[in-house]
Amino acid sequence: MSACIPTYMLASSLIGGGMNWWEAILTIFLGNLVVLVPMILNAHAGTRYGIPFPVYCRAAFGTSGANLPALLRAFVACGWFGIQTWIGGDAIYRIVTVFAPGLAGGGATILGITPAQFLCFLLFWGINMLVVYKGIDSIRLLLNIKAPLLIALGLLFLAWAYRHAGGFGPILSQPSAFDAGQPKSGQFFAYFGLNLTGMVGFWATLSLNIPDFSRYARSQRDQIAGQALGLPLTMALYSFIGVAVTSATTIIFGTTIWNPIDVLTRFHQPAVLILAMLAICIATLATNLAANVVSPANDFSNLAPRLISFRAGGLITGLVGIAIMPWKLVADPSGYIYTWLVGYSALLGPIGGILIADYFVCRHRVLDVADLYRRDGQYRFQGGVSWVALGALVLAVLPALPGFLAQVGALPAGLVPVFFVHLYDYAWFAGFGIAFAVYLALRKVAPQG
């Protein structure tokens, strides 16, 4: 999962924001170390009891209330589906413009993209929906080759940057915009904190639904070792490609280009461009379906199994993916990190805090698996809903709301107190901590609430 275009863009956005190569890699590595902790903790129940994420949530949120965290996770996955679909559609658009140059740079629509771009987006969206209709197994081959394909493409990209920028020396010697005498001198730690939250947010979804995967681990040692070795190192290594190539674009083109598709369009060989874009389409299709369709489609289906099939759940995922207008989220590093990653981390951080407080502190890692599947068992709480968990969730999310509204322009920045603006910069951390503490306090007052 680490080898994907969003990982590249995550790293390149830090370079675009002014960091040098080691500052960017350090930020990504630290963010992954932080999120590794809740990931390992939440994985414990999956390995010990063999339960998936929606069932795990029932212990804290109730047999019916568990639908809320599952749906919040699902809507975030819908957003990622939209982003990955836009990346694939953009790659198709760049291929089309090779044969029809007149389509490049056409008049923008009210949505901020050209009709040709939107049609290519819908084409790739339709391919995704066709696979959902036929079944994920219909692209089993693509699922098996997508990671090697992206790694090979990344290494070729790195080799190109090395050759055309004059080696790693010039690439890695690019100065930080936060150094003394540079344009952003003295602003490093404020920028670092906000982006550290974004790095944590990148894996915040998986840190919750990790029981979906850890339930198949043979032991706690296996799941801990697998995640500790697999996440921070592979993310840092693949991110280095994004960091190095983006730094190289400053040398080669005289401007920093953070989007790999925009970099590829600078190539003068049409055959190379077409092959690279096709590779991106294939790998993105496989990544999107495996990571961003299966889980939300099942979550939507679980709401009303008789009315919503897996195919219908997949269609809902796709429609939400269009509705969020993903091209706006990845139009620049600010939207990608500050609006998208930090924004949804304000929702998912509190869920993680509640789940970990309940499982490790309140229940001391002891669950009654049979009762998790009973409507009238100990996890029923009040009509199937734990109002303690819901209350803790709301109270933990609210403090980040003013900062988020200011970030997206729904509130004038001047109307939001500076405290809440800065609190939003650490939305995942603040939400996790507040939810953890509030849940424990409320649970003492209302053990069955």
Which pLDDT score, from 0 to 100, does residue 107 have?
65
Report the alpha-carbon distance of residue 448 to residue 55 in Å, rounded.
18
Report the alpha-carbon distance of residue 94 to residue 88 in Å, rounded.
10
Which pLDDT score, from 0 to 100, does residue 219 have?
94
pLDDT block averages, 10 residues each, the chain of length 449: 82 93 94 95 96 94 95 94 95 91 73 90 96 83 79 90 94 92 91 94 92 92 90 85 94 92 88 89 87 86 87 95 94 90 96 98 96 93 95 98 93 90 96 98 90
- Three-point CA angle 344, 348, 351, nearest 5°: 155
Residue of 334, 127, 120, 160 lying closest to 244 (CA atoms): 160
Which pLDDT score, from 0 to 100, does residue 95 have?
92
Which pLDDT score, from 0 to 100, does residue 333 have?
86
Phi, psi of 226 (to 5 degrees): -60, -45
Which pLDDT score, from 0 to 100, does residue 194 have?
93
Which pLDDT score, from 0 to 100, does residue 106 have?
63
Identify the DSSP state of 306: T
Residue of 293, 276, 271 lying closest to 143 (CA atoms): 293
Report the alpha-carbon distance of residue 257 to residue 12 in Å, rounded.
8
Instruction: Go through the domains of the chain in sequence order and give each one's CATH number.
Output: 5-445 (1.10.4160.10)
Summarised one tens digit per residue, pLDDT across range 56-103 is 999 999 999 999 999 999 999 999 999 999 999 999 999 999 888 888
Report the alpha-carbon distance of residue 124 to residue 87 in Å, rounded.
9
Q: 429 with 197: CB under 8 angstroms?
A: yes
Residues β-bridged to residue 404: none
Phi, psi of 385 (to 5 degrees): -125, 135
Report the alpha-carbon distance of residue 14 to residue 11 in Å, rounded.
6
Tokens standing for residue 151: 């790694």
Tokens standing for residue 82: 């939209």
Report the alpha-carbon distance of residue 302 to residue 308 in Å, rounded.
8
Which pLDDT score, from 0 to 100, does residue 248 have?
95
Which pLDDT score, from 0 to 100, does residue 230 have?
81
CA 49 to chain centre: 27
Report the alpha-carbon distance of residue 184 to residue 316 in Å, rounded.
43
